[in-house]
Amino acid sequence: MTRIVSHTTTKKIDLLALTLPQLQQWLKEQGEPSFRAKQIYNWLYTHLVTDFAEMTNLPQSLRSRLAQEASIGPIVVRRELHSKDDRTRKILLELPDGKLIESVLMLYPPLGESSARATVCVSSQAGCAFGCTFCATGQMGFERHLSAGEIVVQVLYFARELRKAPWVARGLPDSKPIDHITNIVLMGMGEPLHNYDNVLRALHILNSPDGFNLGARHMTVSTVGLVPAIRKLSQEPLQVHLAISLHAPTDELRGQTMPVNRKYPLSELLAACEDYIAATRRQVTFEYVLLAGVNDTPTHAHQLGELLAPLAQFAHVNCIPVNATAAGYRPPGPEAIRTFRDILFQHGVSNSVRAERGDDIAAACGQLRTHFDTSKS
């Protein structure tokens, strides 16, 4: 079922694409006092409204002008799926020009000393230019960058959903309901650092204390390894986390599945990570998709441990059993995963394994869009 979240024309300015200073400047150009920007930001990001008529502390004349000249993240929800345990929700969004993107909400109940989390996996592009063979998005090719507003609206959509209906994990009725977004990861469709300016603007918008007020340390930016952009990110005042899509311990193997390695081989990538760590003193997460029979053997684990050991406590490996895609890869079994992780520990490399989430709803990036496109043809 198609649900229209908001309408707009391409001539309208998307307010979700504006930082607070940009909104202040736009209002000034309209002959409005700049203090109205904070009022509007409060309505957009604290009250999560989608209708200018709800902004009741604004003059009627301004509300009318906003309705005529501006929009609040125009999107159409083409499809929404929930996993059987309701801990993963995926939406397929249609943008104003008809491009399709995906976004995922992952819900985690409290575990031990860890608090409950609601994490949005955000797309930064329609398609992707980097062609990783195990990624459904990489097999689509690149269509275009998303605007800052198109990135922000993905987070706000799920924030509104949780505001309306806070989530409680089944079987844990005494746990505190989750009613707000706690984390975002830019690990959806696209390469975030290829869309650097729009991604950083979106992060600043979501981080603004006058708006959504999500802490920078609750944001993670993932990259296939764009070395110049990693160095640029290390100089940003916004203290976001960095994740590297590594997936192989040698140039030969990485080049077979990740074409970007031909331009930025492992020696250059690791040097950029070392510079990032030196500048930020923050740990880097290395994402490693485990492909049975391809990169998951004990030999590969030893090679990976030797590669990352020099980074000491500043390196953490996130082992990710691959989701099935058209490329035909399969995940390794539990024993192979356990052996791989134990070898990393032997090298002093901390690691974890990502629990499979939403496999019953094609939650890996690009899968739902692929299924949607196939069903239309």
Rounded to 5°, the CA angle 273-278-283 comes to 60
- Are residues 69 and 48 in contact, defined by beta-carbon separation less than 8 angstroms? no
Pick the closest to residue 48 from 22, 16, 7, 21 (CA basis). Answer: 16
Distance between CA atoms of residues 373 and 278, nearest Å: 44
- Residue 365 a catalytic site member: yes
The kind and range of the H/E element at 149 are: helix 148-164
DSSP classification of residue 335: H
The 3-class secondary structure across 357-372, one letter per residue, is CCHHHCCCCCHHHHHH
Per residue in 278-311, is it b (16+ CB within 10 Å) or e — as a string? Answer: eebeeebbbbbbbbbebbbbeebbbbbbebbeeb
Residue of 102, 150, 191, 287 with catalytic role: 102
**Would residue 135 show up in a list of annotated catalytic residues for this protein?**
no
Amino acid at 293: G
Q: How far apart are CA 250 and CA 164, in angstroms?
A: 48
Residue 275: count of CB within 10 angstroms of its CB:
15
* DSSP state, residue 292: T
Instruction: Return the DSSP state at 178.
Output: B
CA–CA separation, 46 and 274 (whole Å): 38
Q: Indicate if the alpha-carbon torsion angle 324, 329, 333, 339 is positive or negative.
A: negative
- Structural contact between residues 350 and 317, judged by C-beta atoms closer than 8 angstroms: yes
Exactly one of 128, 135, 273, 365 is catalytic; name it: 365
The residues carrying an active-site annotation are 102, 365
